[in-house]
């Protein structure tokens, strides 16, 4: 039927063309010669068009959307699927059941800013001499010529967004001027869109930033140094008196609405990209402020957990994740979306963390140590990946992986594996996500605590720390915001052979070696018993210390 209609149409067209020729008095041979050239050109054009569309649709269909959720300060023991029972995390537990949970995943650093640097660049932050959280006027810490996870995906045709906490600086000036466009920033590193909080929820400026601008900014109402900011007061929120002005921008930022706002923005962006019929895959890097202090869950979560505001903030985080996952279901795109959930460093024994601990919630599970530190609790974090049809459901992996590995892994997913570039430390872990490798893919792993002296190297089941104690927070008293290291063992009751009554013993070895296969909780320093291994790992660390290069030290270090 369709063929007959086509032939009838063709006869009609030929008849009308002949009529036109007669009217125009053009010779039959000239007219049809010209027409045939036009016909061939049209055919070629139409072939090219079809071919391009075909290629694009094949490529796009085969590439998954990627959502990378990076929680803040969420410890190894903070989720139900990792053993927590004072909080309920049904959405994240569900994600784990539908995918794979990793038990030996590590951040690049035990601290917010350098951890995020490693995640985004695939490079150990030590190469940038980067150790601590950056002050708020620090310029962009990532070189805009550097390869990033967002660039790898953008170059493969992805629409990309960063929504949430940035904490990696803006501008190329010596000090960032928030009264000027915040450029370069995430957009110059491969993100098409950015919305979020520029720094951290505990420090200024307490405003939202969208792309290059502070949301609600008015040049008539600029930021002012030394003026108290118009912002809500919360425990463990600081420096309000340091940076004020910009009243309208400050008023738009309400601490207990951040979780909801970021969740809404994330879903809004996914919906907008998904409704774009070009069919590009998308990459969303969603960095929550949950569960970094101040603990500011929305009112409906207050009092919902069994371990205070710390747990309530986890409940809000779980809700946010659940809402994003539900949105994927509603849009019918869950099947072709790789969702990764992780955290930027281990749990912190701040006031909220200490209260939670006393209520029986163990932030980092049975792991020794916490945020900022070289012990496992500082950098071994939850890492869950779901990719229907690719990642086996309800599976666990004890493969040693690092956040820096996402760069090479994403590059492989989009079919453009990275070369052996000295400028990154990323190892392709696609096989760890989707298969069951028999042996460790990584030969070794370097992890940065807050103190450069305490650099960590992991090789096989051995972990070596180049100094005594945790090399992180230095608070020694219960109730102190920065309780950490040996002193924190008075709270946790955990045991380490170098520690006695909350202090490092006088006869403790100068550095630390643990065998994680028999002593995951780092109870016994076996440095003295294994001089050859110590020697080998010290040598390995030395090669990395030489990579620091010409950079001056970056980030705050708790050197009290």
DSSP 311-367: HHHHHHHHHHHHHHHHHHHHTT-GGGEEEEEEESS----SHHHHHHHHTT--TTTT-
CA–CA distance, 298 with 70 (Å, rounded to integer)? 19
CA–CA distance, 239 with 236 (Å, rounded to integer)? 10
Rounded to the nearest whole angstrom, what is the least distance from the CB of residue 345 to Ca ion in the complex?
A: 5
Kindly identify the residues of this chain, within the stretch 320-359, that bind Ca ion according to CB under 5 A.
Answer: 344-345
- Hey, CA dihedral for 393, 397, 400, 402, is it positive or negative? positive
CA–CA distance, 430 with 80 (Å, rounded to integer)? 26
Is the CB of 121 or the CB of 345 nearer to Ca ion? 345
Helix (H) or strand (E) holding 464: strand 462-465
| First CA to last CA distance, the chain | 86
Q: Which of 48, 81, 162, 167 is catalytic?
A: 167
- Our finding on whether 202 is near Ca ion (CB under 5 A) is no
Helix-helix angle 258-275:308-330, to 10 degrees = 10
Is the CB of 151 or the CB of 165 nearer to Ca ion? 165
Is the CB of 199 or the CB of 525 nearer to Ca ion? 199
Is the CB of 77 or the CB of 281 nearer to Ca ion? 77
Pairing of strands 100-102, 223-225: unpaired
Helix (H) or strand (E) holding 286: strand 282-287
Number of residues lying near Ca ion (CB under 5 A): 5
DSSP 231-281: ----TT---TTTEEE-HHHHHT--GGGHHHHHHHHHHHHHHHHHHSTT---
Rounded to the nearest whole angstrom, what is the least distance from the CB of residue 78 to Ca ion in the complex?
A: 12
Q: Which of 106, 112, 162, 292 is catalytic?
A: 112
Helix (H) or strand (E) holding 534: helix 531-545
Q: CB within 8 A of 350, min separation 6: which ones?
A: 236, 293, 481, 482, 483
Kindly identify the residues of this chain, within the stretch 120-179, that bind Ca ion according to CB under 5 A.
Answer: none
- Among the listed ranges 71-79, 125-133, 434-442, 481-489, the one in contact with Ca ion (CB under 5 A) is 71-79
- Among the listed ranges 68-76, 178-186, 499-507, 527-535, the one in contact with Ca ion (CB under 5 A) is 68-76
At 239, give phi and psi (nearest 5°). 65, 25
- Among the listed ranges 70-78, 92-100, 155-163, 383-391, the one in contact with Ca ion (CB under 5 A) is 70-78
- Our finding on whether 499 is near Ca ion (CB under 5 A) is no
112 tagged catalytic: yes
Rounded to the nearest whole angstrom, what is the least distance from the CB of residue 145 to Ca ion in the complex?
A: 27
Among 73, 318, 425, 469, binds Ca ion (CB under 5 A): 73
Is the CB of 345 or the CB of 364 nearer to Ca ion? 345
Residue least distant from Ca ion (Cβ)? 112
Rounded to the nearest whole angstrom, what is the least distance from the CB of residue 231 to Ca ion in the complex?
A: 21
Kindly identify the residues of this chain, within the stretch 94-113, that bind Ca ion according to CB under 5 A.
Answer: 112
Is the CB of 72 or the CB of 466 nearer to Ca ion? 72
- Our finding on whether 72 is near Ca ion (CB under 5 A) is yes
Q: Cα 393–434–78 angle (5° rounding)? A: 60
Rounded to the nearest whole angstrom, what is the least distance from the CB of residue 130 to Ca ion in the complex?
A: 14
Is the CB of 112 or the CB of 340 nearer to Ca ion? 112
Is the CB of 379 or the CB of 454 nearer to Ca ion? 379
Pairing of strands 383-386, 444-447: unpaired
Asked if 66 and 190 count as a contact pair (C-beta separation under 8 A), the reply is no
Pairing of strands 243-245, 223-225: antiparallel
Kindly identify the residues of this chain, within the stretch 405-464, that bind Ca ion according to CB under 5 A.
Answer: none
Rounded to the nearest whole angstrom, what is the least distance from the CB of residue 354 to Ca ion in the complex?
A: 17
- Among the listed ranges 30-38, 42-50, 65-73, 76-84, the one in contact with Ca ion (CB under 5 A) is 65-73
167 tagged catalytic: yes
Rounded to the nearest whole angstrom, what is the least distance from the CB of residue 228 to Ca ion in the complex?
A: 26
Rounded to the nearest whole angstrom, what is the least distance from the CB of residue 73 to Ca ion in the complex?
A: 4
Footprint on this chain of Ca ion (rule: CB under 5 A): 72-73, 112, 344-345
Catalytic residues: 112, 167
């Amino acid at each position: 039927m369709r063929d007959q209609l086509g032939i009838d149409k063709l006869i009609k067209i030929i008849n009308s063309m002949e009529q036109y020729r007669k009217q125009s008095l053009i010779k039959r041979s000239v007219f049809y010669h010209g027409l045939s050239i036009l016909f061939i050109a049209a055919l070629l054009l139409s072939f090219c068009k079809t071919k391009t569309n075909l290629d694009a649709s094949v490529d796009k269909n085969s590439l998954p959307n990627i959502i990378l959720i990076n929680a803040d300060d969420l410890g190894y023991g903070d989720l139900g699927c990792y053993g927590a029972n004072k909080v309920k995390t049904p959405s994240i537990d569900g994600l784990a059941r539908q995918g794979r949970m990793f038990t030996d995943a590590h951040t690049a650093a035990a601290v917010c800013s350098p951890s995020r640097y490693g995640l985004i660049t695939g490079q150990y932050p030590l190469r940038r001499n980067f150790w601590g959280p950056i002050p708020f006027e620090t310029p962009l810490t990532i070189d805009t010529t550097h390869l990033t996870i967002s660039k790898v995906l953008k170059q493969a045709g992805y629409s990309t967004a960063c929504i949430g906490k940035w904490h990696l600086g803006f501008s190329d000036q010596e000090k960032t001027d928030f009264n000027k466009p915040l450029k370069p920033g995430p957009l110059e590193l491969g993100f098409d869109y950015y919305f979020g909080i520029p720094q951290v929820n505990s420090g200024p400026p307490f405003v939202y930033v969208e792309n290059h601008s502070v949301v609600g900014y008015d040049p008539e109402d600029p930021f002012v140094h030394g003026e108290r900011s118009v912002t809500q007061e919360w425990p463990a929120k600081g420096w309000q008196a340091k940076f004020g002005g910009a009243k309208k921008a400050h008023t738009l930022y309400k601490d207990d609405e951040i979780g909801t706002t970021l969740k809404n923005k994330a879903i809004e962006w996914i919906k907008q990209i998904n409704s774009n019929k070009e069919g590009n895959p998308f990459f969303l890097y969603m960095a929550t402020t949950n569960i970094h202090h101040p603990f500011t869950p929305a009112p409906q979560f207050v009092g919902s957990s069994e371990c205070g505001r710390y747990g309530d903030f986890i409940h809000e985080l779980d809700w946010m994740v659940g809402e994003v996952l539900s949105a994927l279901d509603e849009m019918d795109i869950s099947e072709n979306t790789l969702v990764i959930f992780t955290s930027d460093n281990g749990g912190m024994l701040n006031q909220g963390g200490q209260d939670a601990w006393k209520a029986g919630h163990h932030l980092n599970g049975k792991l020794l140590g916490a945020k900022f530190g070289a012990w496992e609790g500082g950098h071994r974090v939850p890492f869950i990946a779901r990719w229907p049809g690719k990642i086996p459901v309800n599976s666990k992996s004890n493969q040693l992986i690092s956040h820096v590995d996402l760069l090479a892994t994403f590059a492989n997913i989009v079919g453009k594996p990275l070369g052996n570039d000295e400028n990154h430390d990323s190892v392709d872990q696609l096989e760890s996500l989707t298969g069951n490798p028999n042996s460790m893919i990584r030969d070794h792993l370097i992890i940065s605590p807050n103190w450069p002296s305490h650099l960590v190297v992991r090789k096989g089941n051995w972990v070596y720390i180049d100094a005594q104690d945790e090399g992180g927070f230095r608070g020694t008293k219960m109730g102190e915001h920065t309780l950490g290291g040996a002193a924190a063992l008075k709270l946790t009751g955990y045991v380490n052979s170098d520690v006695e009554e909350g202090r490092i013993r006088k006869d403790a070895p100068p550095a630390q070696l643990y065998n994680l296969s028999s002593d995951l909780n780092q109870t016994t320093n076996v440095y003295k018993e294994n001089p050859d291994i110590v020697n080998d790992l010290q040598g390995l660390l030395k090669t990395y210390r030489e990579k620091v290069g010409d950079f001056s030290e970056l980030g705050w270090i708790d050197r009290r």
